[in-house]
Amino acid sequence: MTRNVVWDHGVSLPGHRLWLDPLVVRSFAFISHAHTDHARRHREAVLTPQTLALIPEARRPRGWRMLGYDEPMRRDSATVTLLPAGHMLGSAQLLLEHDGTSLLYTGDIKLRVPGTRKQTHVPKAHVLIVETTYGRPHFRFGDPDATVEAIAMWCRRALDSRVAPVLLCHALGKTEEMMLALAPYGFEFALEKRCVPCAESYTGAGRPLPEWIELDGDARGRVVIAPPAGKDEVRRLGRYRTALVSGWAKDAEFARLFGADTTFDLSDHCDFDELMDVVERSGADQVYTVHGYTEDFAHSLRKRGIRASALEATEQLQLAL
């Protein structure tokens, strides 16, 4: 029963009446994190308290069961446990155990988190459902701490030249984690208006942020952070340079689309090698891939003798900035 996994606008475990990050509203679902492509107004959802706090009111589930990390919950005759995923504040993996069989759903996952020596733990499981945004071999990122240092040096050089450094990041999650990573270098920040409610939500969810102001056309002496959609506001700065901070920096086609002056391959998702590590650490004898380069990564696993299949065909990618 636990091995029965179905794709129908989201991952379904029909034997347990449980949906995993479904794309449409369901009666009972797991929401792995607060990004809007994962949050829906389900009748009831299981999620971490931080994820609930970060979901905008319009997308918040109508009912919920908040679950802390490593806090088991009974689901009929099965046990559900949430584990840190390393993707953003509140993000979680889901481990389901029933009659001696275990299934792990990673959601969006990151093993190497900047500023931490400890990697995200991947538990053993018989069945693994893994998110594969960067499931092609050319997505191999540098050491995240070294990349943060390179970003800090780039920002410092710009400020010393009286040029505003602008980091193009996802408004929720990436913006706040960049602020926390760069704060030890002594920077202050100005946030484009789309980032402001996200930063306020982060603080409200229990993660205090470094001092910041809302961008108002003058960011003198500050590092500016904006989503790619916020470029119009950034153009009012006068002298500025932009840097795309994303795993898509490894894809020249996507990098060109953003028209940034430079790119840094810092992502809150696993790169190709990390995805292979997730599979190896899980020890799963059956792997399913979801989101992003699903067919490509499943093919790479099969070439290594691992039983793997894509739950969905490769789709138009959401830009996982």
Among residues 298, 301, 318, the alpha carbon closest in space to that of 309 is found at 298
pTM above 0.75, yes or no: yes
Report the run of H or E that residue 317 belongs to, with start and end.
none
**Alpha carbons 306 and 298: distance in angstroms, whole number:** 9
Give me the pLDDT at residue 37, please. 86
Give me the pLDDT at residue 49, please. 97
Angstrom CA distances, 35 to 32, 82, 145, 213, stand at 9, 17, 24, 23
**Alpha carbons 68 and 79: distance in angstroms, whole number:** 14
Report the run of H or E that residue 74 belongs to, with start and end.
strand 73-75
Mean of all residue pLDDT scores within the chain: 92
Among residues 79, 83, 8, 75, the alpha carbon closest in space to that of 44 is found at 75
**Alpha carbons 207 and 200: distance in angstroms, whole number:** 10
Give the pair of three-digit tokens for residue 263: 């790119």
For residue range 219-246, what is the model confidence (pLDDT) as tens digits?
A: 889 999 999 876 677 888 889 999 999 9
CA angle 206, 50, 311 (to 5 degrees): 150
**Alpha carbons 168 and 266: distance in angstroms, whole number:** 11
**Alpha carbons 201 and 185: distance in angstroms, whole number:** 24
Among residues 235, 277, 238, 227, the alpha carbon closest in space to that of 110 is found at 277
First-last CA distance in the chain: 36
189-191 vs 223-226, strand pairing mode: parallel
For residue range 246-290, what is the model confidence (pLDDT) as tens digits?
A: 999 888 777 677 778 999 999 999 999 999 999 999 999 999 999
Residues with pLDDT less than 50, the chain = 314-321
